[in-house]
Structure 1
């Protein structure tokens, strides 16, 4: 996924067919709505281990492998990890994150939607239509540049969480993993995990 560093690229997606969908479904039934913390991959694994059952543990193992991938690509020794059950229209407007690099994986539900930069330039965000919108497949891994990207080339990919309210009731949930730099979204200070049931 190192092609994210190409100057004209704002997103790169790694397709995969081995995402732990069964473990993710188990986590939706058994796990908390939010796990949030930062540290090394080993620290995060120890921090969150007790919130997973034998059925959902492959999900944690996959998430930690992605944390390791993110750290290798970004050159950071630590990362911020957020695993969240989304049950509403969260971040439904197109926006650019205030981060350098962000990794996303939707384990359950529709993947993140984005607009190619050539199409997004000069358009009113409210006028973006279905023909211009791309979607990351469930289980695939994406790295996005944000507005704080300091490297050469384009900054930030316009993206959003897909609206869920218009979907059938059994499709109004997502399980989303977000990985980025430790201080993203105001995280700082002690590395205490946030857990919401």
Structure 2
């Protein structure tokens, strides 16, 4: 167990469901540092060139599934992820959640967009954070590397036209590729349905993924019903 884990210290940061204030909180960065042990485990995990992990379940179920899927001694990373699962559950009131842990080596989600769900939690364990803008890209800001970022989407009960933040993944650089890319954690609700709908970045994406995903589309079901591997 990590001594004095920064994530554990603020699990009571917000307790009310969907308590992130809007519109100023349509993007919120929590005051959480990335512990050195977690960072080291993240780099070691990234060095294994892992396939994407997508899991659904309660907190306890996710803890077991994630340990099995990571297939290695990455306890500090596992503990940090599960602390964030607990935080997300406390904030949203959801008992069932979805986590996605992905090695990114391309310019994924390169367009500024807003998510079509209530609340998404992101943490980039290796590499830059999230780029965001309030003026359609005229001025672009970056969240700190390793920061815990909360993004309210159009399904948030307080969403309105005053919520002007749009976000995207940062462009991939040659220097980042040299260290294996980015390692990104996403924690979501599951109400939207299948993974394609949850991962869709914008309206155009929904037109494609509404038809459902098949293994030919780049996703295959791997043993456990909660684990998907992108080839």
TM range (shorter): 0.7 to 0.9
Aligned to 1:183: 191
2:85: which partner in 1? 67
Secondary structure of residue in 2 paired with 1:4:
coil
Distance 1:152 1:93, change over 3 A: closer
| Of 169-178 and 149-158, the range deviating more from structure 2 | 149-158
> Which of 31, 36, 44 is equivalent to 1:26?
44
TM-score between both structures, scaled by the size of structure 2? 0.71
CA distance in 2, matches of 1:164, 1:8: 28
Give the length in aligned residue pairs.
184
Report the counterpart of residue 201 of structure 2 in structure 1.
none
- Confirm whether residue 36 of structure 1 aligns to residue 43 of structure 2: no
CA gap 1:168/1:71 in 2 versus in 1, 3 angstroms: closer
The CA distance in 2 between the partners of 1:37 and 1:67, in whole Å, is 12
Q: 1:96 aligns with which of 114, 133, 151?
A: 114
Match of 1:105 in 2: 123
Distance between the aligned counterparts of 1:30 and 1:158, measured in 2?
32
Q: Distance in 1 between matches of 2:48 and 2:176?
A: 22
Which shows bigger deviation, 9-18 or 77-86?
9-18
Structure with the larger RCO, 1 or 2 (CA within 8 Å, 6+ apart): 1
Conserved 8 A contact 1:27-1:52: no
Q: Structure 1's 169 and 79: CA in aligned 2 closer, same or farther, altered over 3 A?
A: closer
Give, in angstroms, the shift of residue 29 of structure 1: 1.6
The aligned residue for residue 10 of structure 1 is 26
Distance in 1 (CA, whole Å) between partners of 2:155 and 2:225 is 23
Measured in 1, the distance between the counterparts of 2:64 and 2:25 equals 35
C-alpha displacement of 1:42: 1.0
Query: 2: CA distance between counterparts of 1:101 and 1:62?
Result: 19
Q: Which runs of 5+ in 2 are unaligned?
A: 1-12, 198-223
**Please, which moves more after superposition, 138-147 or 157-166?**
157-166
TM-score by length of 1: 0.82
How much is the aligned-residue C-alpha RMSD, in angstroms?
2.5
